[in-house]
């Protein structure tokens, strides 16, 4: 019996409720020569997520948190109706989940389906289990987290340890289970949506553990910094590589700007619950919701002013932040009539003050730049001795340390560079040189995130077969310009690392170079030992290229999708002119 194709929703998405409906959608795409892609929580760049638009329709802006699909006949799926969790063996902690279940609560879910209570982490916590590691946020769907190769900051633990099976639907509409004892498991478990649509995932959980940690802020230079960030280390001060190796969970925010020069060190370890456990969660901002929202609104104003040159542009870009502040204030006060009135009045006052302040500072940019280190010192002060922020909490709550950052007011985009752990010192010395020589051109006005990742066996993982040191160069989403363009903010780091022969791979869901596609496709191919194996499997599982869009064609093959040969199993190479050509 053939399952009917579900209707397209008014939001532009298909919302399947079963695996049979997903297969029906794949068959529709195959029969009508259409593309088909799936979205999770939209934390990847938009063009990495969605299909191409229809002929003559505009491309989506290549930004994170793009909630709507492009216009056109291609099929974009949202799994908000496909998120069940089933216990296969509760005693052993084995579960099977549908692709749309979120790790935690997604506050930006446009359907409003996501809650803490229906999230994977909360449901398994209630039964005494959890995952081995989590990323900085837990808003993502479990399938989206895995398909993009996302990872937490640990060399001790990895979420890949929990995955025991994955069911994926290929371009012919066939659903197939892959398990860890199969070689091709390493391809499908991180496949960018290019080997098919993930339907279900089986996970081997581990017993609940609790997070105990601290956050401290120190100057970057020795002897004040507890870590030798740029050197070999000593018995008293570990090198950065040694620190990452010895710390179960860690994340460092590096503010390298002149007169700021500090690192915010977040570190944690596992522990058992005390007999009377009163959790003290990690607080990235103030522990009061209203004060936290004011802080984030202030930060949004600061970074938007620093990242743009015209007052009118700044004020236009700040409107979503003020709207979000008003919305969050309403919610924090209960959402009733009085809450709406209070939120309106408070937002109006802050908006009026913000207008005057922004107008003045944009008229006198030298004052704005002079105030910058003062404001950062207020927002991120150095820690006084014995005054570290201590926290102890449930895994699902505080291990994702950035869940408290609002995606609109603190909109952050980045390129994430994964370097062999053994090259940590070389990379840090290079960055220190660039930051000191090029000042704000290299440092920007935002922080740079430093952390680690444990090696795994996923063919396209940036941590394939090697532990890695990870560097996230942050870009405030309201900044002017394209940071991934030839002369964009990120290009200086990609090009300098390549020039200095420091090998690197990039997080696939974050910014990739948007220039010299042929050159970079060839470079990435050289960094992944099983690249050609993955591409051969992709051709086999997607013979009509229904899962491939133009974005991935450019980044993987170095050429637009409509220029690819009719025989996709042929692998691309680069000729002397840096143009991708096809070879058998």
Cα of first residue to Cα of last residue in the chain, in angstroms, is 41
Q: How far apart are alpha carbons 389 and 75 in whole angstroms? A: 47
With a pLDDT cut of 90, the percent of the chain lying above it is 93
Phi-psi region of 65 (alpha: psi -120 to 50; beta: other; left: phi over 0): left
**Tokens, residue 280:** 């003290």
Q: What is the largest CA-CA distance in the chain?
A: 72
What's the average model confidence in pLDDT over 404-412? 94
The pLDDT of 200-208, averaged and rounded, is 97
Is the pLDDT confidence value at 191 over 90?
yes
Is 582's pLDDT higher than 50? no
Token representation of residue 438: 């090029």
Query: Which pTM value belongs to this model?
Result: 0.94
Q: Cα separations (Å) of 170 from 17, 186, 197?
A: 18, 16, 7
What pLDDT band is residue 287 in, cutting at 50, 70 and 90? Answer: confident
**pLDDT value of residue 572:** 39
**Which residues, in sequence order, are CB contacts of 88 under 8 Å at separation 6+?**
94, 95, 96, 202
Predicted local distance difference test score (pLDDT) of residue 19: 97
Percent of the chain beyond pLDDT 70? 97
Residue 85: predicted pLDDT: 98
Q: How confident is the model at residue 273 (pLDDT cuts 50, 70, 90)?
A: confident
Tokens of 102: 């979120």
Q: At what angle do helices 337-363 and 365-379 cross, to 10 degrees?
A: 130
pLDDT of residue 575: 33
- Checking if the pLDDT of 579 tops 60, the result is no
Triad 297, 300, 305: Cα angle to 5°: 130
Average pLDDT over residues 484-500: 98
CA 113 to chain centre: 21
Unique residue bearing structure tokens 């030992």: 529
Residue 116 CA to residue 106 CA, distance in Å, equals 8
**In terms of residues, how long is the chain?**
584
Give the residue-averaged pLDDT of 60-72.
94
3-state per-residue secondary structure call for 483-528: CCCCCCCCHHHHHHHHHCCCCCEECCCCCCCCCCHHHHHHHHHHHC
pLDDT in tens, 134-144: 999 999 999 99
What's the mean per-residue pLDDT of the chain? Answer: 94
Kind and range of the H or E run holding 324: helix 311-332
Q: How confident is the model at residue 566 (pLDDT cuts 50, 70, 90)?
A: low
Q: What is the pLDDT of residues 217-261, one digit of tens each?
A: 999 999 999 999 999 999 999 999 999 999 999 999 999 999 999
SS (H, E, C) 174-234: CEEEEECCCCCHHHHCCCCCCCCEEEEEEEECEECCEEEEEEEEEECCCCCCCCECCCCCC
Q: What is the average pLDDT across 431-449?
A: 97
For the cut 70, the answer to whether the pLDDT of residue 574 exceeds it is no
Task: Say which range, 80-94, 323-337, 505-519, has the weakest mean pLDDT.
Answer: 323-337
């Amino acid at each position: 019996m053939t399952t009917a194709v579900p209707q397209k929703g008014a939001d532009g998405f298909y919302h399947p409720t079963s695996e049979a409906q997903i297969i029906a959608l794949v068959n529709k795409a195959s029969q009508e020569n259409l593309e088909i892609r799936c979205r999770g929580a939209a934390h990847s760049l938009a063009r990495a997520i969605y299909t191409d638009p229809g002929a003559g329709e505009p491309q989506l802006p290549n930004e994170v948190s793009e909630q709507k699909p492009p216009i056109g006949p291609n099929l974009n799926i949202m799994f908000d109706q496909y998120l069940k969790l089933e216990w296969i063996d509760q005693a052993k902690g084995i579960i099977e989940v549908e692709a749309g279940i979120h790790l935690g609560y997604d506050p930006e879910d446009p359907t409003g389906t996501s809650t803490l209570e229906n999230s994977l982490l909360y449901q398994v916590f209630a039964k005494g289990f959890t995952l081995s590691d989590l990323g900085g946020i837990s808003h993502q769907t479990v399938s989206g987290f895995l398909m993009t190769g996302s990872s937490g900051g640990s060399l001790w633990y990895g979420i890949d340890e929990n995955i025991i099976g994955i069911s994926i639907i290929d371009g012919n509409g066939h659903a197939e289970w892959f398990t860890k004892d199969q070689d091709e498991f390493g391809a499908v478990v991180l496949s960018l949506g290019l080997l098919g649509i993930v339907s279900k995932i089986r996970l081997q959980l581990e017993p609940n553990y609790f997070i105990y940690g601290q956050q401290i802020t120190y100057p970057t230079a020795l002897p004040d910094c507890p870590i030798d960030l740029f050197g070999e280390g000593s018995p008293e001060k570990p090198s950065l590589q040694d620190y990452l190796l010895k710390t179960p969970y860690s994340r460092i925010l590096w503010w390298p700007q002149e007169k700021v020069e500090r690192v915010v060190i977040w570190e944690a370890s596992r522990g058992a619950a005390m007999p009377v456990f009163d959790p003290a969660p990690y607080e990235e901002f103030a522990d009061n919701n209203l004060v936290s929202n004011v802080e984030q609104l202030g930060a949004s104003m600061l970074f938007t002013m620093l990242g743009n040159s015209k007052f009118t542009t700044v004020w236009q870009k700040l409107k979503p932040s003020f709207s979000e502040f008003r919305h969050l204030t309403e919610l924090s006060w209960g959402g009733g009539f009085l809450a709406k009135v209070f939120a309106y009045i408070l937002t109006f006052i802050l908006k009026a003050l913000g207008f005057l302040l922004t107008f003045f500072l944009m008229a006198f940019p030298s004052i704005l730049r002079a105030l910058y280190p003062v404001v950062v010192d207020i927002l991120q002060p150095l820690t006084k001795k014995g005054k570290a922020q201590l926290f102890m909490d449930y895994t699902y709550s505080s291990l994702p340390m950035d869940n408290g950052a609002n995606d609109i007011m603190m909109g952050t985009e980045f390129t994430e560079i994964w370097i062999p752990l053994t090259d940590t010192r070389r990379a840090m010395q290079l960055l220190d040189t660039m930051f000191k020589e090029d000042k704000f051109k290299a440092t920007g006005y935002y922080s740079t995130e430093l952390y680690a990742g444990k090696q795994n066996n996923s063919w396209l993982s940036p941590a394939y077969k090697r532990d890695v040191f990870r560097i996230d160069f942050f870009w405030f989403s309201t900044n002017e310009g394209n940071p991934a363009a030839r002369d964009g903010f990120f290009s200086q780091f990609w090009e300098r690392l390549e020039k200095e022969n420091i090998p690197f791979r990039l997080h696939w869901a974050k910014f990739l170079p948007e220039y010299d596609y042929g050159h970079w496709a060839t470079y990435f191919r050289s960094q992944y030992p099983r690249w050609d194996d993955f591409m051969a499997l992709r051709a086999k599982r997607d013979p009509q290229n229904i899962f491939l869009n133009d974005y991935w064609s450019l980044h993987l093959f170095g050429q637009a999708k409509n220029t690819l040969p009719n025989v996709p199993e042929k692998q691309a190479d680069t000729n002397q002119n840096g143009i991708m050509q096809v070879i058998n």
